[in-house]
Amino acid sequence: MVDYRIEKDVMGEVKVPADSYYGAFTERAKNNFQISGIRAHKEFLAALATIKKAAALANIELKQLDEKIGKAIVKAADEVVQGKFDEYFILDVYQAGAGTPFNMNCNEIIANRATEILGGKLGQYIINPNNHVNMAQSTNDVIPSTTRIAILFLLKELVAEARKLEWSLRKKAEEFRHILKVGRTHWEDAVPITLGQEFEAYAVSVAKGIKRMLDASEELKELGIGGTAIGTGITTHPKYHETAVKKLNELTKLNLRTTKNMIELTQNYNCFVSFSGALNMIAIDIFRISNNLAILNSGPKGGISEIMLPDVEPGSSIMPGKINPSIPECMIMVCYDVMGKSKTVELAAQYSILELNVMGPVIAYNILQSMKLLTNTLKMFREMCIDGITANEERCDELLHKSTAIATALNPYLGYQSVSKIVKESLKNNSTIKETVLKYKLIEEKDLNKILSPEEMTKPKEADKKLIEKIQNSGSYKKYLERL
Protein backbone atom coordinates (compact mmCIF):
# COMPACT_ATOMS: atom_id res chain seq x y z
CA MET A 1 0.00 0.00 0.00
CA VAL A 2 1.34 3.42 -1.00
CA ASP A 3 1.77 6.02 1.74
CA TYR A 4 1.08 9.62 0.84
CA ARG A 5 2.00 13.05 2.12
CA ILE A 6 -0.20 16.08 1.64
CA GLU A 7 1.19 19.12 -0.12
CA LYS A 8 -0.58 22.40 -0.74
CA ASP A 9 -0.48 24.75 -3.70
CA VAL A 10 -2.61 27.64 -4.94
CA MET A 11 -5.27 25.16 -6.10
CA GLY A 12 -5.52 23.32 -2.79
CA GLU A 13 -4.24 20.06 -1.34
CA VAL A 14 -2.48 17.38 -3.36
CA LYS A 15 -1.68 13.79 -2.37
CA VAL A 16 1.92 12.93 -3.27
CA PRO A 17 3.61 9.56 -2.65
CA ALA A 18 5.38 9.93 0.69
CA ASP A 19 8.77 8.75 -0.59
CA SER A 20 8.70 10.78 -3.80
CA TYR A 21 11.18 13.52 -4.57
CA TYR A 22 8.71 15.29 -6.84
CA GLY A 23 5.89 17.37 -5.42
CA ALA A 24 2.45 18.82 -5.97
CA PHE A 25 3.03 20.43 -9.36
CA THR A 26 4.45 17.23 -10.84
CA GLU A 27 1.64 15.14 -9.37
CA ARG A 28 -0.98 17.37 -10.99
CA ALA A 29 0.84 17.31 -14.33
CA LYS A 30 1.19 13.53 -14.18
CA ASN A 31 -2.58 13.20 -13.76
CA ASN A 32 -3.32 15.73 -16.50
CA PHE A 33 -1.04 14.44 -19.24
CA GLN A 34 -1.16 10.68 -19.62
CA ILE A 35 -0.53 10.69 -23.36
CA SER A 36 2.30 8.60 -24.78
CA GLY A 37 4.18 7.06 -21.88
CA ILE A 38 7.34 8.57 -23.39
CA ARG A 39 9.63 10.29 -20.91
CA ALA A 40 12.20 13.03 -21.48
CA HIS A 41 15.62 12.02 -22.78
CA LYS A 42 18.29 11.63 -20.10
CA GLU A 43 20.44 14.23 -21.87
CA PHE A 44 17.56 16.69 -21.56
CA LEU A 45 17.31 15.97 -17.83
CA ALA A 46 21.07 16.34 -17.38
CA ALA A 47 21.03 19.66 -19.25
CA LEU A 48 18.09 20.87 -17.17
CA ALA A 49 19.81 20.04 -13.88
CA THR A 50 23.02 21.63 -15.16
CA ILE A 51 21.14 24.88 -15.71
CA LYS A 52 19.79 24.68 -12.14
CA LYS A 53 23.33 24.22 -10.86
CA ALA A 54 24.66 27.11 -12.94
CA ALA A 55 21.80 29.34 -11.79
CA ALA A 56 22.56 28.58 -8.13
CA LEU A 57 26.27 29.26 -8.63
CA ALA A 58 25.51 32.53 -10.43
CA ASN A 59 23.08 33.66 -7.74
CA ILE A 60 25.59 32.81 -5.00
CA GLU A 61 28.29 34.80 -6.78
CA LEU A 62 25.95 37.75 -7.21
CA LYS A 63 24.92 37.49 -3.52
CA GLN A 64 21.28 36.85 -4.37
CA LEU A 65 21.13 33.36 -2.83
CA ASP A 66 22.21 32.25 0.63
CA GLU A 67 25.44 30.26 0.19
CA LYS A 68 24.29 27.38 2.40
CA ILE A 69 21.08 26.97 0.40
CA GLY A 70 22.92 27.44 -2.88
CA LYS A 71 25.51 24.76 -2.11
CA ALA A 72 22.75 22.28 -1.22
CA ILE A 73 21.07 23.02 -4.56
CA VAL A 74 24.37 22.52 -6.36
CA LYS A 75 24.95 19.16 -4.68
CA ALA A 76 21.41 18.00 -5.42
CA ALA A 77 21.68 19.13 -9.03
CA ASP A 78 24.92 17.17 -9.41
CA GLU A 79 23.11 14.04 -8.26
CA VAL A 80 20.33 14.66 -10.78
CA VAL A 81 22.91 15.04 -13.55
CA GLN A 82 24.37 11.69 -12.49
CA GLY A 83 20.95 10.09 -13.02
CA LYS A 84 20.26 9.25 -9.38
CA PHE A 85 16.71 10.61 -9.55
CA ASP A 86 15.69 9.64 -13.07
CA GLU A 87 12.80 7.55 -11.77
CA TYR A 88 11.17 10.70 -10.40
CA PHE A 89 11.09 12.45 -13.78
CA ILE A 90 7.74 10.87 -14.54
CA LEU A 91 6.14 13.31 -16.95
CA ASP A 92 5.06 12.67 -20.51
CA VAL A 93 6.90 14.53 -23.28
CA TYR A 94 3.50 15.79 -24.44
CA GLN A 95 2.41 18.24 -21.77
CA ALA A 96 1.54 21.83 -20.95
CA GLY A 97 2.92 24.48 -23.29
CA ALA A 98 6.48 25.74 -22.90
CA GLY A 99 7.40 22.82 -20.62
CA THR A 100 6.46 24.24 -17.23
CA PRO A 101 5.83 20.72 -15.88
CA PHE A 102 9.36 19.66 -16.89
CA ASN A 103 10.84 22.72 -15.21
CA MET A 104 8.84 22.28 -12.01
CA ASN A 105 9.47 18.51 -11.90
CA CYS A 106 13.19 19.29 -11.77
CA ASN A 107 12.72 22.15 -9.31
CA GLU A 108 10.79 19.91 -6.92
CA ILE A 109 13.26 17.03 -7.11
CA ILE A 110 16.23 19.31 -6.44
CA ALA A 111 14.36 21.17 -3.68
CA ASN A 112 13.42 17.95 -1.89
CA ARG A 113 16.90 16.46 -2.21
CA ALA A 114 18.52 19.74 -1.10
CA THR A 115 16.10 19.85 1.84
CA GLU A 116 17.32 16.35 2.79
CA ILE A 117 20.93 17.48 2.50
CA LEU A 118 20.16 20.25 5.02
CA GLY A 119 18.57 17.73 7.40
CA GLY A 120 14.92 18.17 6.43
CA LYS A 121 12.31 15.70 5.20
CA LEU A 122 10.68 15.19 1.83
CA GLY A 123 7.90 17.70 1.35
CA GLN A 124 9.19 20.01 4.10
CA TYR A 125 10.82 22.33 1.52
CA ILE A 126 13.42 24.03 3.63
CA ILE A 127 14.59 24.87 0.14
CA ASN A 128 11.70 26.10 -1.99
CA PRO A 129 11.26 24.87 -5.60
CA ASN A 130 10.22 28.30 -6.86
CA ASN A 131 11.97 30.80 -4.62
CA HIS A 132 15.34 29.06 -4.43
CA VAL A 133 15.83 26.40 -7.14
CA ASN A 134 14.04 28.50 -9.77
CA MET A 135 15.58 31.82 -8.67
CA ALA A 136 16.13 34.22 -11.60
CA GLN A 137 14.55 31.71 -13.98
CA SER A 138 11.36 31.00 -15.86
CA THR A 139 10.30 27.95 -17.79
CA ASN A 140 10.40 30.23 -20.82
CA ASP A 141 14.17 30.70 -20.72
CA VAL A 142 15.09 27.43 -18.99
CA ILE A 143 13.47 24.92 -21.38
CA PRO A 144 14.80 26.35 -24.68
CA SER A 145 18.25 26.73 -23.08
CA THR A 146 18.00 23.14 -21.83
CA THR A 147 17.09 21.96 -25.33
CA ARG A 148 20.05 23.78 -26.88
CA ILE A 149 22.49 22.26 -24.39
CA ALA A 150 21.00 18.77 -24.70
CA ILE A 151 21.37 18.91 -28.49
CA LEU A 152 24.99 19.97 -28.10
CA PHE A 153 25.54 17.11 -25.62
CA LEU A 154 24.31 14.59 -28.21
CA LEU A 155 25.95 16.19 -31.23
CA LYS A 156 29.45 14.90 -30.52
CA GLU A 157 28.41 11.24 -30.72
CA LEU A 158 26.24 11.77 -33.78
CA VAL A 159 29.04 13.55 -35.65
CA ALA A 160 31.48 10.81 -34.63
CA GLU A 161 29.24 8.10 -36.08
CA ALA A 162 28.62 10.09 -39.26
CA ARG A 163 32.37 10.57 -39.74
CA LYS A 164 32.98 6.84 -39.31
CA LEU A 165 30.37 6.21 -41.99
CA GLU A 166 32.05 8.73 -44.28
CA TRP A 167 35.42 7.01 -43.76
CA SER A 168 33.93 3.58 -44.47
CA LEU A 169 32.44 4.85 -47.72
CA ARG A 170 35.80 6.35 -48.71
CA LYS A 171 37.51 3.02 -48.04
CA LYS A 172 35.03 1.30 -50.32
CA ALA A 173 35.58 4.02 -52.94
CA GLU A 174 39.29 3.23 -52.93
CA GLU A 175 38.66 -0.53 -52.99
CA PHE A 176 36.33 -0.20 -56.00
CA ARG A 177 38.11 2.59 -57.86
CA HIS A 178 39.19 0.35 -60.79
CA ILE A 179 35.78 -1.29 -61.39
CA LEU A 180 34.12 0.20 -64.47
CA LYS A 181 30.34 -0.14 -64.71
CA VAL A 182 27.33 1.34 -66.38
CA GLY A 183 25.92 4.56 -64.97
CA ARG A 184 22.17 5.06 -64.86
CA THR A 185 19.83 8.04 -65.21
CA HIS A 186 16.03 7.98 -65.52
CA TRP A 187 16.27 4.22 -64.73
CA GLU A 188 18.06 3.83 -68.08
CA ASP A 189 21.67 3.03 -69.04
CA ALA A 190 23.86 6.14 -69.07
CA VAL A 191 27.56 6.85 -69.51
CA PRO A 192 30.09 4.69 -67.64
CA ILE A 193 31.24 5.35 -64.10
CA THR A 194 33.45 3.44 -61.72
CA LEU A 195 31.94 1.80 -58.67
CA GLY A 196 34.54 3.70 -56.69
CA GLN A 197 33.24 7.01 -58.02
CA GLU A 198 29.74 6.12 -56.88
CA PHE A 199 30.93 5.38 -53.34
CA GLU A 200 33.13 8.48 -53.26
CA ALA A 201 30.08 10.59 -54.11
CA TYR A 202 28.19 8.96 -51.22
CA ALA A 203 31.08 9.80 -48.86
CA VAL A 204 31.08 13.43 -49.99
CA SER A 205 27.33 13.69 -49.31
CA VAL A 206 27.82 12.45 -45.75
CA ALA A 207 30.71 14.90 -45.23
CA LYS A 208 28.49 17.77 -46.37
CA GLY A 209 25.77 16.58 -43.99
CA ILE A 210 28.22 16.67 -41.10
CA LYS A 211 29.21 20.22 -41.97
CA ARG A 212 25.57 21.31 -42.11
CA MET A 213 24.95 19.91 -38.62
CA LEU A 214 28.02 21.61 -37.19
CA ASP A 215 27.21 24.91 -38.87
CA ALA A 216 23.61 24.82 -37.62
CA SER A 217 24.75 23.95 -34.10
CA GLU A 218 26.64 27.24 -33.79
CA GLU A 219 23.41 29.20 -33.43
CA LEU A 220 22.32 26.88 -30.63
CA LYS A 221 25.21 28.13 -28.49
CA GLU A 222 23.51 31.50 -28.05
CA LEU A 223 21.51 31.31 -24.81
CA GLY A 224 18.60 33.36 -23.53
CA ILE A 225 19.01 32.16 -19.95
CA GLY A 226 18.23 35.10 -17.69
CA GLY A 227 15.49 36.41 -19.93
CA THR A 228 12.91 34.84 -17.60
CA ALA A 229 9.28 35.12 -18.68
CA ILE A 230 9.47 37.08 -21.94
CA GLY A 231 13.14 37.96 -22.33
CA THR A 232 13.16 41.23 -20.40
CA GLY A 233 15.04 39.67 -17.47
CA ILE A 234 12.52 40.62 -14.82
CA THR A 235 13.51 39.36 -11.29
CA THR A 236 17.17 38.87 -12.25
CA HIS A 237 20.34 40.68 -11.20
CA PRO A 238 21.69 42.89 -14.02
CA LYS A 239 24.75 40.65 -14.31
CA TYR A 240 22.85 37.38 -14.00
CA HIS A 241 22.64 36.53 -17.74
CA GLU A 242 26.36 36.99 -18.25
CA THR A 243 27.25 35.16 -15.03
CA ALA A 244 24.90 32.23 -15.67
CA VAL A 245 26.30 31.68 -19.16
CA LYS A 246 29.84 31.85 -17.75
CA LYS A 247 28.96 29.18 -15.16
CA LEU A 248 27.36 27.00 -17.81
CA ASN A 249 30.51 27.21 -19.92
CA GLU A 250 32.60 26.17 -16.94
CA LEU A 251 30.32 23.18 -16.40
CA THR A 252 29.79 22.06 -20.01
CA LYS A 253 32.83 23.29 -22.00
CA LEU A 254 30.41 23.95 -24.88
CA ASN A 255 31.57 27.47 -25.77
CA LEU A 256 28.12 28.91 -25.06
CA ARG A 257 27.60 32.63 -25.46
CA THR A 258 25.39 35.46 -24.26
CA THR A 259 22.94 37.28 -26.46
CA LYS A 260 22.21 40.96 -27.00
CA ASN A 261 18.47 40.36 -27.23
CA MET A 262 16.90 37.77 -24.97
CA ILE A 263 13.42 38.86 -26.07
CA GLU A 264 14.13 37.69 -29.62
CA LEU A 265 15.40 34.30 -28.41
CA THR A 266 12.25 33.80 -26.32
CA GLN A 267 10.04 34.33 -29.36
CA ASN A 268 12.11 32.91 -32.21
CA TYR A 269 12.85 29.17 -32.40
CA ASN A 270 14.28 29.19 -35.92
CA CYS A 271 17.60 27.90 -34.60
CA PHE A 272 15.83 24.61 -33.89
CA VAL A 273 14.35 24.60 -37.39
CA SER A 274 17.83 25.09 -38.85
CA PHE A 275 19.35 22.27 -36.84
CA SER A 276 16.42 19.94 -37.43
CA GLY A 277 16.70 20.85 -41.11
CA ALA A 278 20.32 19.71 -41.09
CA LEU A 279 19.19 16.39 -39.60
CA ASN A 280 16.51 16.20 -42.28
CA MET A 281 19.05 16.76 -45.05
CA ILE A 282 21.43 14.09 -43.84
CA ALA A 283 18.43 11.76 -43.56
CA ILE A 284 17.57 12.52 -47.19
CA ASP A 285 21.13 11.71 -48.25
CA ILE A 286 21.31 8.50 -46.22
CA PHE A 287 17.92 7.46 -47.57
CA ARG A 288 19.21 7.94 -51.12
CA ILE A 289 22.40 6.01 -50.44
CA SER A 290 20.53 3.16 -48.73
CA ASN A 291 18.03 2.90 -51.54
CA ASN A 292 20.77 2.94 -54.19
CA LEU A 293 22.65 0.15 -52.43
CA ALA A 294 19.50 -1.98 -52.32
CA ILE A 295 18.97 -1.38 -56.06
CA LEU A 296 22.57 -2.20 -56.99
CA ASN A 297 22.32 -5.34 -54.84
CA SER A 298 19.04 -6.46 -56.42
CA GLY A 299 18.90 -10.03 -57.62
CA PRO A 300 20.84 -12.15 -57.08
CA LYS A 301 19.93 -13.53 -60.54
CA GLY A 302 17.05 -11.43 -61.78
CA GLY A 303 18.33 -7.98 -60.90
CA ILE A 304 21.38 -5.73 -61.21
CA SER A 305 23.58 -7.49 -58.65
CA GLU A 306 26.63 -5.27 -59.21
CA ILE A 307 27.34 -5.29 -55.48
CA MET A 308 26.62 -7.80 -52.76
CA LEU A 309 25.42 -6.66 -49.35
CA PRO A 310 26.30 -8.75 -46.30
CA ASP A 311 23.75 -11.43 -45.42
CA VAL A 312 22.30 -10.59 -42.01
CA GLU A 313 19.10 -12.64 -41.80
CA PRO A 314 16.69 -14.74 -43.90
CA GLY A 315 14.48 -12.52 -46.03
CA SER A 316 11.27 -14.48 -46.27
CA SER A 317 8.98 -16.67 -44.21
CA ILE A 318 7.86 -18.54 -47.36
CA MET A 319 10.68 -18.29 -49.96
CA PRO A 320 13.65 -20.46 -48.98
CA GLY A 321 17.08 -18.90 -49.42
CA LYS A 322 15.77 -15.40 -50.07
CA ILE A 323 17.95 -12.64 -48.57
CA ASN A 324 16.65 -9.08 -48.39
CA PRO A 325 18.54 -5.76 -48.00
CA SER A 326 17.35 -5.62 -44.38
CA ILE A 327 19.87 -3.11 -43.07
CA PRO A 328 19.25 -0.48 -45.79
CA GLU A 329 15.51 -1.00 -45.31
CA CYS A 330 15.81 -0.29 -41.58
CA MET A 331 17.95 2.74 -42.35
CA ILE A 332 15.27 4.05 -44.71
CA MET A 333 12.58 3.62 -42.03
CA VAL A 334 14.61 5.74 -39.63
CA CYS A 335 15.23 8.37 -42.32
CA TYR A 336 11.48 8.65 -42.92
CA ASP A 337 10.93 9.12 -39.19
CA VAL A 338 13.61 11.82 -38.97
CA MET A 339 12.08 13.63 -41.95
CA GLY A 340 8.68 13.54 -40.26
CA LYS A 341 10.07 14.81 -36.98
CA SER A 342 11.76 17.66 -38.82
CA LYS A 343 8.39 18.71 -40.22
CA THR A 344 6.94 18.65 -36.71
CA VAL A 345 9.74 20.94 -35.50
CA GLU A 346 9.20 23.29 -38.42
CA LEU A 347 5.49 23.59 -37.69
CA ALA A 348 6.02 23.90 -33.94
CA ALA A 349 8.48 26.75 -34.44
CA GLN A 350 5.76 28.64 -36.30
CA TYR A 351 3.58 28.59 -33.19
CA SER A 352 5.20 31.63 -31.63
CA ILE A 353 2.53 34.02 -30.46
CA LEU A 354 3.61 37.49 -29.39
CA GLU A 355 6.31 37.09 -26.71
CA LEU A 356 6.63 33.31 -26.50
CA ASN A 357 6.76 30.06 -28.41
CA VAL A 358 5.05 27.42 -26.25
CA MET A 359 5.98 24.34 -28.30
CA GLY A 360 9.33 23.73 -26.58
CA PRO A 361 8.59 20.20 -25.29
CA VAL A 362 7.62 18.74 -28.67
CA ILE A 363 10.57 20.45 -30.35
CA ALA A 364 12.99 19.08 -27.77
CA TYR A 365 11.62 15.54 -27.95
CA ASN A 366 11.65 15.32 -31.73
CA ILE A 367 15.12 16.74 -32.29
CA LEU A 368 16.74 14.67 -29.53
CA GLN A 369 14.93 11.53 -30.67
CA SER A 370 16.06 12.09 -34.26
CA MET A 371 19.64 12.51 -33.11
CA LYS A 372 19.56 9.27 -31.13
CA LEU A 373 17.90 7.37 -33.95
CA LEU A 374 20.48 8.58 -36.46
CA THR A 375 23.42 7.89 -34.14
CA ASN A 376 22.35 4.31 -33.48
CA THR A 377 21.26 3.52 -37.01
CA LEU A 378 24.31 5.00 -38.74
CA LYS A 379 26.44 2.71 -36.56
CA MET A 380 24.36 -0.30 -37.62
CA PHE A 381 24.46 0.81 -41.27
CA ARG A 382 28.25 1.07 -41.24
CA GLU A 383 29.04 -2.07 -39.27
CA MET A 384 26.43 -4.42 -40.74
CA CYS A 385 26.20 -3.14 -44.29
CA ILE A 386 28.83 -0.73 -45.66
CA ASP A 387 31.91 -2.43 -44.22
CA GLY A 388 30.87 -5.80 -45.64
CA ILE A 389 29.90 -4.76 -49.19
CA THR A 390 31.69 -6.64 -51.95
CA ALA A 391 31.75 -5.90 -55.67
CA ASN A 392 30.53 -8.31 -58.33
CA GLU A 393 33.17 -7.20 -60.80
CA GLU A 394 32.22 -9.78 -63.41
CA ARG A 395 28.61 -8.61 -63.38
CA CYS A 396 29.65 -4.95 -63.63
CA ASP A 397 31.69 -5.75 -66.73
CA GLU A 398 28.93 -7.89 -68.24
CA LEU A 399 26.24 -5.21 -67.89
CA LEU A 400 28.55 -2.47 -69.08
CA HIS A 401 29.33 -4.20 -72.35
CA LYS A 402 25.77 -5.37 -72.88
CA SER A 403 24.52 -1.82 -72.54
CA THR A 404 24.80 1.16 -74.86
CA ALA A 405 26.45 3.16 -72.06
CA ILE A 406 29.86 3.31 -73.69
CA ALA A 407 28.53 4.73 -76.94
CA THR A 408 28.75 8.34 -75.78
CA ALA A 409 32.54 8.08 -75.60
CA LEU A 410 32.55 7.55 -79.38
CA ASN A 411 30.81 10.84 -80.19
CA PRO A 412 33.98 12.92 -80.66
CA TYR A 413 35.38 10.29 -83.03
CA LEU A 414 32.39 9.12 -85.07
CA GLY A 415 29.82 11.91 -84.56
CA TYR A 416 26.44 11.81 -82.86
CA GLN A 417 24.47 10.62 -85.91
CA SER A 418 26.81 7.74 -86.67
CA VAL A 419 26.90 6.63 -83.03
CA SER A 420 23.09 6.78 -82.84
CA LYS A 421 22.89 4.33 -85.74
CA ILE A 422 25.48 2.07 -84.11
CA VAL A 423 23.40 2.03 -80.90
CA LYS A 424 20.22 1.27 -82.80
CA GLU A 425 21.83 -1.58 -84.70
CA SER A 426 23.42 -3.00 -81.56
CA LEU A 427 20.05 -3.13 -79.82
CA LYS A 428 18.39 -4.67 -82.86
CA ASN A 429 21.02 -7.38 -83.29
CA ASN A 430 21.62 -7.93 -79.58
CA SER A 431 25.29 -7.19 -80.10
CA THR A 432 27.66 -4.95 -78.17
CA ILE A 433 28.68 -1.46 -79.20
CA LYS A 434 32.25 -2.65 -79.55
CA GLU A 435 31.24 -5.58 -81.78
CA THR A 436 29.26 -3.26 -84.06
CA VAL A 437 32.08 -0.73 -84.41
CA LEU A 438 34.57 -3.49 -85.24
CA LYS A 439 32.13 -5.10 -87.65
CA TYR A 440 32.24 -2.01 -89.88
CA LYS A 441 35.95 -1.43 -89.22
CA LEU A 442 35.23 2.10 -88.10
CA ILE A 443 38.00 2.12 -85.50
CA GLU A 444 40.96 -0.18 -85.06
CA GLU A 445 40.61 -2.42 -82.01
CA LYS A 446 43.65 -1.01 -80.19
CA ASP A 447 42.34 2.53 -80.67
CA LEU A 448 38.85 1.48 -79.66
CA ASN A 449 40.17 -0.09 -76.45
CA LYS A 450 41.90 3.16 -75.60
CA ILE A 451 38.76 5.23 -76.23
CA LEU A 452 36.69 2.87 -74.10
CA SER A 453 39.18 2.63 -71.23
CA PRO A 454 38.16 3.75 -67.69
CA GLU A 455 40.67 6.60 -67.87
CA GLU A 456 39.02 7.99 -70.99
CA MET A 457 35.37 7.45 -70.02
CA THR A 458 35.14 8.46 -66.35
CA LYS A 459 36.76 11.88 -66.19
CA PRO A 460 37.25 14.99 -68.35
CA LYS A 461 39.57 14.10 -71.22
CA GLU A 462 40.32 15.95 -74.40
CA ALA A 463 39.69 13.83 -77.48
CA ASP A 464 42.72 12.73 -79.52
CA LYS A 465 42.60 15.06 -82.53
CA LYS A 466 45.02 12.98 -84.58
CA LEU A 467 42.91 9.89 -83.96
CA ILE A 468 39.75 11.76 -84.96
CA GLU A 469 41.42 12.78 -88.24
CA LYS A 470 42.63 9.23 -88.84
CA ILE A 471 39.19 7.71 -88.27
CA GLN A 472 37.17 10.28 -90.22
CA ASN A 473 39.53 10.13 -93.23
CA SER A 474 39.29 6.35 -93.42
CA GLY A 475 37.37 4.69 -96.23
CA SER A 476 35.37 2.59 -93.77
CA TYR A 477 34.06 5.67 -91.98
CA LYS A 478 33.14 7.47 -95.22
CA LYS A 479 31.37 4.37 -96.47
CA TYR A 480 29.43 4.10 -93.21
CA LEU A 481 28.34 7.72 -93.50
CA GLU A 482 26.88 6.97 -96.93
CA ARG A 483 24.60 4.40 -95.27
CA LEU A 484 23.04 6.98 -92.92
Which active-site residues does the annotation give? 316
CA 193/CA 12 separation, integer angstroms: 74
CB 372 within 8 A of CB 154: yes
| Cis before 144? omega within 30 | no
User: Residue 88 has what DSSP assignment?
Assistant: G
Helix 42-61 crosses helix 139-175 at what angle (to 10 degrees)? 130
Yes or no: say if 162 and 210 are a contact pair by the CB < 8 Å rule.
yes
Going by C-alpha positions, the residue among 372, 380, 216, 208 that lies closest to residue 284 is 208
Specify whether the CB–CB gap between 213 and 276 falls below 8 A: no
* Alpha-carbon dihedral sign for residues 455, 456, 460, 463: positive
Neighbours of 66 (CB within 10 A): 13
What Cα–Cα distance (Å) separates residue 406 from each residue in 17, 123, 186, 192, 402? 76, 80, 17, 6, 10
- Residues 142 and 56: their CA atoms lie apart, in Å, by 13
- Single out the residue of 84, 82, 127 nearest to residue 108, CA to CA: 127
H/E stretch holding 194: strand 188-194
**Is the separation of the CB atoms in 462 and 407 below 8 Å?**
no
Q: Which residues contact 149 (CB under 8 A, 6 or more apart)?
A: 47, 50, 51, 248, 252, 254, 256
- How many whole angstroms separate alpha carbon 155 and alpha carbon 202? 21
Angle, CA of 357, 367 and 152, to the nearest 5°: 95
Q: Could you give the CA distance from residue 181 to residue 393 in angstroms, rounded to a whole number? A: 9
DSSP label at 222?
Answer: B
Query: Which H helix or E strand runs over 180?
Result: strand 180-185
Strand partners, 143: none
